[in-house]
Amino acid sequence: MKNGNSMFPDVRIPYGTWGSSYFPAWQTSALAEVNLGQFAGEAAAQILGKRHVPVGELDYMVIGSTVPWHWKFWTAPLVSSCMGRRLPGFHVEQACATGLQAVLVGAAQIQTGSHRAAAVLTFDRTSDSPVGVFPERRAYERTHSISDVWDNFGFDPAAGSSMITTAGTAARKYKLDRREVDELTAHRYEQYFAGRKSGFLDRVLFPFEVLNLQGRPMGTIDDDFGVRRVTLDGLKAMRELDTCVTSGTQTHASDGMAILLTTTREKARELSTRPEVDIQFVARSEIRTRPSLMPEAPTLAVQDLLQRTGLTLKDIAVIKNHNPFAVNDAIFSRVLDYDWHNMNNNGCSLVWGHPQGPTLTRSLIEGLEEAVDLGGGNVLVFGCAAGDVGIAAVFRVSEGAAS
């Protein structure tokens, strides 16, 4: 594939038609109190409107979310009705891989020829997640209840460990140094605030005013609320929760949405604000590693991807890793001999939070935008997901795309 082959040769992501909400940390914004499926639909319509893409141009929708929301049974047709037009489509869910998996599924809809333009809309509200009640005849309690976000974070029903345990276990396996992980984390924050200062994030993030039942403002989502500057000394002083894991070197739960489009080459030129920018799907990989080693899974997925495509990291212009733990980046750097300073520019989920469904969609959008700034190149996006899974994909932004 180094020679330019593509996994979905007829599919493109039209440049400049994407967008994301800010990701306020859980319980810090009005998003904590609303039906996020409705919010995602209405916000997506607005993003596309501001991007001059009429919803009428779309004929399909893939939605991705992991936390149950009110009326989720109705999936994409309901969410798209909140955009003003009901579209056929379905719901994709794969824990924290959802945001990338949904994009790949959206591309497949185009490649098969069944549809011409699909919206990939991912969203989640981790704040006040619903509590599920499951009748279990064989359990002595007869009925199990589960708080969707926190109970799942805390317990892998197949392997028995919590998410944070996987980070500590992986850190020990790779003999990571706490000092390096703290330095890496501090650098990630610097990258994020540099992206804020340069205006880079303003090009992909949209503010939204949220209304209450009476139509009056109940809050404006115009910041990644909860993100505050950290210092290396501050990180060093934090109590270690597991090996190389502190409250500073792991992400936080948040709420938000993100959208991008998949479409044909011709339609992409029609919809894009810069038709000369060509964004293709190169390849993808997905693997499972051994139990309780989730943070190494994305690295292994990237290894697999590079091996199959013949690409090396020198061929990659932009690298974006979904890193709920700073450990993830450190392992990637160690295994693939890559300087972690050079990846996750302008921010990453370690800093701006982790609403699950849209996390990797925002990472991808930011990665593509960065590649366009660089004049094109390959974009590697990857991340971990519940079940000790790693997912990775490479996208190619046409060279000469700089404005």
Chain contacts with other proteins (rule: CB under 8 A):
34-35, 38-39, 42-43, 45-46, 48-49, 53-56, 82-85, 208-211, 213, 215, 217
* Angle formed at CA 329 by CA 256 and CA 246, multiple of 5 degrees: 75
CB of 395 to other proteins, least distance (A): 26
Q: Per-residue DSSP letters for 129-155?
A: --EEEEE-TTSTTSEEEEETTHHHHH-
CB of 208 to other proteins, least distance (A): 5
CB of 22 to other proteins, least distance (A): 13
Beta carbon nearer to other proteins, 49 or 154: 49
CB of 34 to other proteins, least distance (A): 6
CB of 54 to other proteins, least distance (A): 6
Beta carbon nearer to other proteins, 55 or 313: 55
State which amino acid sits at residue 32.
A
State which amino acid sits at residue 349.
S
Q: Is 134 exposed, middle or buried (0-12, 13-18, 19+ CB in 10 A)?
A: exposed
Provide, for the chain, the percentages of residues in helix, strand and coil under a 3-state DSSP scheme, each rounded to the nearest 5. 35, 25, 40
Beta carbon nearer to other proteins, 30 or 186: 30
- Contact predicate 117/58, CB 8 Å: yes
CB of 206 to other proteins, least distance (A): 10
Beta carbon nearer to other proteins, 40 or 372: 40
Beta carbon nearer to other proteins, 44 or 283: 44
Beta carbon nearer to other proteins, 259 or 326: 259
Contact partners, residue 81, CB within 8 Å, separation at least 6: 41
Contact partners, residue 73, CB within 8 Å, separation at least 6: none
